[in-house]
Structure 1
Amino acid sequence: MKSIILILLTSFSTFCSYAQSPRIFNSQLESVTVYSLGAELNHKAKVSLPAGTSEIVLANVANTVDESSIQISVPSNVTILSTSFSRDFLKNENKSPAYIKVEDSLQFIKRELNKLENKRVVEENLLVLLDKNQAIGGSNTGVNVAELMKVADYYKNKQLELRNNIFNLKEAEALQQKRIARMQRQLQELSLDKSGTSGQIILQLMASTATNADLSVSYLTPSAAWIAFYDLRAENTTTPLKIVYKANVTQSTGLDWKKVRLSLSTGNPSQNGTAPLLSAWFLQFGEPEYAYRNKKLVYQNRIQSMAMPAPEVKEEVLSLMAKKSNGLAVQQNENMLNAIFDIEIPYDIASNSKPHSVILKEFSQPAAFKYYSVPKMDGDAFLMAEITNYDKLNLLPGEANIIFENSYVGKSFINPNATTDTLNLSMGRDKKITIKREKIAEQTGVKFIGNSKKQTFTYEIRLRNGKKEAVDLLLKDQYPVSTDKDMEVELLNAGGASVNKETGVLTWKLKLKPGATENIRISYSVKYPKDKNILNLQ
């Protein structure tokens, strides 16, 4: 009997332990690695575990988590039985403290507006009632002058009072409506802040003995990203180009990142890493088009299902290159697949989807400067910086601010994915170099020769260097290329340019002295049947 009671008590104790609510422990965000799309968050948590099986909840994690990426590090005397993720619905969904404050103020103003509207309606009803009851005495009763004047003054004063009240109330309503509109716009802005929404990781653990354990937690979330942008600075065309490599980091994980160790990776963990495999390509005779399409789709699906995943490859770090250029505390690690920038200064980044600027590197790069112009398309000269060996800079595509001769001149775009050995960076327009392209009317015209029509075009390009130093200018223009045997195109004057006869592109490599001017003329003719028209001839 005693043994039965002992078994029942043990079973009851075990049931009670499972029936108890899981204990909640806060996790502390330690470091974040942000990818081009997504981020890896790393937390620490201190938990107390009883002997046996228990369930705990790690709070204060991101609001969206790839569950398959969750990694938990526990002491050797603790075993993980299961892991799951859920949203924390006990918090105000998508409402940050700032949002709640503005929302409360908005509700108050709406109540005040409702009171004003009620007062106005009452005043308007009184005015209607007053207008309907202006008859004085009965139809058979006369009214003396004194009574008439007295009643007239009353109606006059009362109507004036009511109408003034209505006017003032309408003004007050309009003011409140403007305040409501401003607050609604502010709420729309604050709705991007996801700090009011977080997630939690639920763990089933088994400990051999009661213990206080330090847990390490990491996972991937899609709610963060970074893009590259740059500052390109050049004092003049004889000094090296200064490139400031920056990052715009955004996140909406529901957690404000405060004093975290931040790393930025050029990789993308969400991209499929499975290498494709080819299967045999079997030919077969064709069938009706509809059936062939169906078979083609089935065949493609079959190939896809036969593709086997490539063996897992761990990114082994090949070289570590620690840099502190111009005082920047950034360490750049390069591995087989991507580059990682470790920011040594802790960063604060709010969960509001707004870009937060982070400086990665600053370096000076030797560059060959030259000017480039296509006056047929654009009348300005563009300063170009040519950089070689740019693959060592680990640049990503991104927008660039251009500062030349200590003045902001505009924006450009860096595309390091070019297949050439030289990276051309546009440094913007230089208004000190003037270029004009005009048609010379007296040398442009039409002649009829038998059944043919011959049009001649002559253009003059005038250039002036208004700078204090000589400049190298790459100038381009063009003449048309025939696409029909009935069209005869003749280049009459190339103006000293090198000619690409296949494309019709004319190229000049000019060196303009300070204050110098130069004129270039080009001329070409097009002969074709007079009963035909060429729409894009100019």
Structure 2
Amino acid sequence: MKKLVAIICLLGTSFFSNALEEEIVKSTISNVTVYSQGAQIFRKASFNVKTGVSQIILENVSSYLDAKSIQVKATGGIIILDTKFSMYYPKPEEISLEGLPLKVRQDIQRLEDSLEWINFDLQTLQNEIDVLNATKSILANNGAVRGQGKVNDSIALLKETIDYYTIKMNELNVKLGNLNRKKATKTKERDAMSGRLTKLRNYQSSNNLTPANAGPIPRIIITVQATTPVSGKLDVSYLVSQAGWIPLYDLRSEIATGQVNLNYKAQVFQSTGEKWDNVRLTISTNNPYQNKTKPTLHPWYVNYASYQQGYAAPSTTNNMSTGIMYKEKAASEDRKKTEAYSTADYESSATTADQFVTMVNQTISAEFIIDLPYTIESNNEQHMVLISNKDLKANYKYFTVPKADKSAYLVAQISKLEELQLVPAKASIFFDGSYIGETYLDPTSLDDTLNLSLGKDPNIIVKRTYLKNDTKEKIVGNYIEKTYTYLIEVKNQKATNIDIIIQDQIPVAYDGDIEITLLESAKAKYNSVTGLLEWDSKLKPKQSELIQFSYKVKYNKDKQLNL
């Protein structure tokens, strides 16, 4: 028996000697890489471990952490055995009134005792009220008297019943009234006590006398092994959701300089549960939550259908796209006076945040390293981070599409945007210090030139006229031939020369039985696929230009054609 006890004691000693040493270390966020969706958090910490296997614990990390993304690097010659993410649930603390003034503690205790007794009194009153109400109900439901005796006897019995009913109901009503008054008084006392108790408890809470939050604590647990006691440093990184950035642009153009200033900004937000305090940010165009697997094409088998459906011609829309991205707004800002001051008026200009940004081109994304500290709370509010500020060479031209709008639009044409690593986003437009409106900048389009519309110019007059007299129609065999003629007039009423691009179109046939021929183009650039006509003109002050074009449509006379 003694041997058995010795063996059990030996096993117990061995078990506790092999228990893992735990060390909870403090860590700080040093860097954050913000993706279009999500963010990569970089933490630093110092540790001390004993000989053997130990667990280093980092607390208060984000609960939105992706456990698969955890990466750990360490110094000090330790071996990293395991890394995991877990939620720790601490034992709830008992509520204590220690530290409160004596009078406050006594008041809380008295109020709690009084509320307990007053609730007993209210329950007793309610019980009596229930009994009286039940008695009234019995009397009310059994007030009729039925008898088989003489008439005189029945009348006498009825009179006695009514007298009894009246006396008893009055007694019950008096008792009920008294009880309800007592109940109302007690209820007011109870509500007043409850309000006073709530205020005292709020006082207790405001003086930090409530127990610490016993909610779950997110942890990163790193299991390490050391042959000797060692100290070192940890670099831990992980991916979190509930964060990201939204691109935003400001485009400021000045026709006098022939340039467009591009402000590239990132609206950074996060609600990860971690405060990014005085950290270095990196803005990345990558999205780690986006699909990274290449699509695969499988064999495409076709066969005859078991029945024939009706044929429907593809829907078409006449697209007079001019490449102009424009959204005009009837609003302007009085910025001219502010922007009129030149840097020569000051001894030195203020340094802008974009001068602390370094762009790094990755294989499949771009990163902008911000060499300035930022503090971003976990409240999902947007914080503006300036990525770059560039002056771009612009070519200013006028565009007009008189078929759609008899106005001339000033357009700044900007090229070579690919080197800026822009992403599609909204852009606010400013022209000569005034706010023009908003557009959508899409650098991913195949067109290498951005056409930035700056609004209408009322000093350029555009007219488009359908010349009915020159319209002809004749029948040739089984076909009808119609000729259409239009006249476009553009007049420059400005005091300067202008370059203007005029666009129009002729219809395009989908049916091979319809034949469309351009008869007169006035030397336009013609796209036979889209039917687009384009003239590039230069007009001096007060000069006008007339452009006439015509086309012929030939179609079956037995069919209707909608033009």
Question: Same fold judged by TM-score > 0.5?
Answer: yes
- Say which of 464, 475, 499 aligns to 2:526: 499
Query: For the residues of structure 1 that align with 2:243 and 2:379, how far apart are their CA atoms?
Result: 10
Residue 345 of structure 1 pairs with residue 364 of structure 2: no
> In the alignment, which residue of structure 1 is the partner of 2:54?
54
Q: Distance in 2 between matches of 1:208 and 1:227?
A: 49
Does the aligned pair in 1 maintain the 2:409–2:457 contact within 8 Å? no
Is 1:510 the counterpart of 2:529? The answer is no
In the aligned structure 1, how far is the partner of 2:304 from the partner of 2:225? Answer: 63
Q: Structure 1 residues 273, 487: closer, same or farther in 2, change over 3 A?
A: closer
Q: Note if 1:429 corresponds to 2:455.
A: yes
| Partner of residue 85, structure 1 | 85
In the other structure, the counterpart of 2:430 is: 403
CA change 1:287–1:328 in 2 (3 A) is: closer
Amino acid at match of 1:261: R
| Secondary structure, aligned partner of 2:404 | coil
Q: CA deviation at 1:437?
A: 4.7
Distance 1:468 1:259, change over 3 A: farther
Deviations 1:449-494 (A, max 9, x none): 4765444433333434454432211211111234445434343442
- What is the aligned partner in structure 2 of residue 36 from structure 1? 36
Secondary structure (helix, strand or coil) at the match of 1:443 reads coil
Note closer, same or farther for the CA distance 1:9–1:453 as it changes in structure 2 (3 Å cut): same
Kindly indicate whether the alpha-carbon contact (under 8 Å) linking 1:437 and 1:459 is maintained by their aligned counterparts in 2: no
Letter in 1 for 2:404: M
Q: Which amino acid in 2 is paired with 1:399?
A: K
**Structure 1 residue aligned with 2:326:** none
Q: Which residue pairs with 2:251 in the alignment?
A: 232
Indicate conservation of the 8 Å contact 2:461/2:493, yes or no: no
SS in 2 for 1:328: helix
Are residues 513 and 20 of structure 1, via their aligned partners in 2, closer, same or farther at CA, if it must alter by over 3 Å?
Answer: same
Scaled by the length of structure 2, the TM-score of the pair is 0.60
Contact map agreement 2:368 2:387 (CA 8 A) in 1:
yes
> Is the CA contact 2:354–2:388 (under 8 Å) kept in the aligned structure 1?
no
Residue 252 of structure 1: how far off its partner (Å): 2.8
CA distance in 2, matches of 1:260, 1:198: 23
Q: Does structure 1 residue 364 correspond to structure 2 residue 383?
A: no
Report what 2:280 is aligned to.
Answer: 261
Residues in 2 aligned to 1:384 and 1:236: alpha-carbon distance in whole angstroms: 10
1:9 Cα deviation after fit:
5.7
Alignment match of 1:524 (pick from 532, 541, 551): 551
When structure 1 is superposed on structure 2, of 269-278 and 516-525 the one drifting more is 269-278
Match of 1:417 in 2: 444
1:262 shift after superposition: 0.3
> Is the CA contact 1:26–1:60 (under 8 Å) kept in the aligned structure 2?
no
Match of 1:217 in 2: 236
Displacement after TM superposition at 1:72 (Å)? 1.6
- Deviation of the 1:43 alpha carbon: 0.7
Residues 405 and 512 of structure 1: is their aligned pair in 2 closer, same or farther, counting only changes over 3 Å?
Answer: farther
Change (3 A) 1:250 1:26: same
User: Is the CA contact 1:380–1:433 (under 8 Å) kept in the aligned structure 2?
Assistant: no
SS at match of 1:509: strand
Q: Any idea what the Cα deviations from partners look like across 1:362-399, whole Å, max 9, x if unmatched?
A: 12122222223323234444444334443322222222
**Equivalent position SS for 1:62:** coil
- Contact kept? 2:258, 2:396, Cα under 8 Å: no
**Greater mean alpha carbon deviation, residues 33-42 or residues 204-213:** 204-213
Q: Does the CA-based 8 Å contact 1:403-1:409 persist in structure 2?
A: yes
1-structure distance, mates of 2:492, 2:303: 69
Displacement of 1:266 after TM fit? 2.6
516-525 or 27-36, larger mean C-alpha shift: 516-525
Question: Is the partner of 2:419 in helix, strand or coil?
Answer: helix
Over the matched positions of the two proteins, sequence identity in percent amounts to: 37
CA distance in 1 between counterparts of 2:302 and 2:389 reads 61
Alignment check: 8 A CA contact 1:439 1:457 kept: no
Between the aligned partners of 2:428 and 2:299, the Cα distance in structure 1 is: 54
User: Unpaired runs of 5+ in structure 2?
Assistant: 92-214, 307-350
Separation in 2, partners of 1:361, 1:408: 21
Match of 1:478 in 2: 505
Structure 1 or 2, whichever has the larger Rg, is 2
Query: In the alignment, is the contact (CA less than 8 A) between 1:64 and 1:199 conserved in 2?
Result: no
CA shift, 1:232, in A, is 1.5
- Show CA shifts across 1:74-106 (max 9, x none): 333433332211346679xxxxxxxxxxxxxxx
Alignment deviations for residues 203-230 of structure 1 (CA, whole Å, 9 cap, x no partner): 3333434455432211122333234332
TM-score by length of 1: 0.62
Q: What is the DSSP-based 3-state SS (H/G/I as helix, E as strand, rest coil) of the residue aligned with 2:457?
A: strand
Instruction: Tell me what 2:222 maps to.
Output: 203
**In the alignment, what sits opposite 1:458?**
485
Q: Tell me: CA distance 1:225–1:496, structure 2 relative to 1, closer, same or farther (3 Å).
A: same
Paired position in structure 2 for 1:12: 12
Residue 249 (structure 1) aligned with residue 265 (structure 2): no
1:489/1:526 contact within 8 Å kept: yes
Q: CA separation of 1:470/1:256 partners in 2, compared to 1, >3 Å: closer, same or farther?
A: farther
**Alpha-carbon distance between aligned partners in 2 of 1:12 and 1:289, rounded to the nearest angstrom:** 78
CA distance in 2: counterparts of 1:33 and 1:265, whole angstroms: 7
Give me the whole-angstrom Cα distance separating, in 2, the residues matched to 1:478 and 1:514: 27
Between the aligned partners of 1:289 and 1:455, the Cα distance in structure 2 is 41
Residue identity matched to 1:243: L
Rounded Cα–Cα distance in structure 2 between residues aligned with 1:411 and 1:286: 47
What residue is the counterpart of 2:466 in the other structure? Answer: 440
Name the SS of the counterpart of 1:73 in structure 2.
strand
Quickly say closer, same or farther: Cα 1:50–1:379, change in 2 above 3 A. Answer: farther
Distance 1:197 1:514 in 2: 76
Q: Check conservation: 1:382, 1:426, Cα contact below 8 A.
A: no
What secondary structure is seen at the aligned counterpart in 1 of 2:54? Answer: strand
Offset of 1:10 from its aligned partner? 6.3
Deviations 1:413-467 (A, max 9, x none): 33333445x4223233233454545443643767454765444433333434454
Distance (whole Å) between structure 2 residues aligned to residue 253 and residue 383 of structure 1: 45
In the alignment, is the contact (CA less than 8 A) between 1:412 and 1:428 conserved in 2?
no
Distance 1:368 1:4, change over 3 A: farther
Post-superposition offset of 1:242: 1.4
Asked if 2 retains the 8 angstrom alpha-carbon contact of 1:411 and 1:428, the reply is no
Offset, 1:326: 8.0
User: Shift of residue 259 of structure 1?
Assistant: 1.2
Change (3 A) 1:251 1:439: same
Relative distance call for 1:399 and 1:327 in structure 2 (3 A) is closer
Give the distance between the partners of 1:197 and 1:423, measured in 2 at CA. 54
Determine the structure 1 residue equivalent to 2:187.
Answer: none
C-alpha displacement of 1:22: 5.3
Q: Structure 1 pair 446/357, CA: closer, same or farther in 2 (3 Å)?
A: same
SS of structure 2 residue aligned to 1:37: coil
Q: Specify whether residues 90 and 241 from structure 1 end up closer, same or farther in structure 2 by C-alpha distance, changes over 3 A only.
A: farther
Distance 1:478 1:89 in 2: 71
Q: Runs of 5+ in structure 1 lacking a partner?
A: 92-195, 291-323
